[in-house]
């Protein structure tokens, strides 16, 4: 009987360490943290959830978006992304001097739907690129902090 309790304890301790989501602050004013679930409370505190196993793909998608924002040429329809429970939808607005991009993030992780305006077409691409690159650094720093 004693061994059954030890086995159950070790199994539950193993599950407690693996966290499913990273919760990112939309404004980067609060540190990101890892959690097993996403609540409505975190949504209203301004956190955006991404599945931990998909963070690498998420960063790659953000890097592609930043690269396109730095381009001065019109390149057609923007790429749409579906990464785990997160969708990144984009729209391009051609202008005489290039194009303006608009990207929305939508996450349905943990039965909570959270949206974020990542790139706003009202702002020029250089400002949007700066924000996206800063957000990438914020996410990478959060991952480094977790590895310590």
Q: CA 103, CA 64: separation in Å to the nearest integer? A: 12
Average pLDDT over residues 57-64: 97
What pLDDT does 2 receive? 52
Per-residue pLDDT tens over the stretch 3-50: 444 445 454 444 445 689 999 999 999 999 999 989 999 999 999 999
Taking alpha carbons only, the member of 24, 54, 21, 42 closest to residue 136 is 24
Q: CA 145, CA 42: separation in Å to the nearest integer? A: 20
């Amino acid at each position: 009987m004693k061994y059954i309790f030890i086995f159950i304890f070790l199994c539950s301790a193993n599950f407690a360490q693996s966290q499913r989501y990273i919760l990112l602050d939309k404004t980067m004013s609060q540190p990101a943290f890892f959690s097993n679930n996403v609540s409505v409370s975190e949504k209203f505190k301004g956190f955006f959830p991404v599945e931990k196993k998909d963070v690498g793909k998420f960063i790659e998608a953000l890097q592609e978006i930043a690269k396109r924002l730095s381009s001065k040429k019109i390149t057609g329809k923007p790429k749409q992304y579906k990464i785990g429970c997160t969708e990144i939808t984009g729209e391009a607005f051609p202008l005489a001097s290039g194009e303006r991009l608009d990207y929305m993030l939508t996450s349905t992780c943990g039965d909570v739907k959270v949206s974020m305006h990542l790139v706003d077409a009202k702002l020029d691409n250089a400002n949007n690129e700066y924000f996206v690159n800063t957000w990438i650094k914020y996410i990478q720093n959060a991952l480094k902090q977790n590895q310590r």
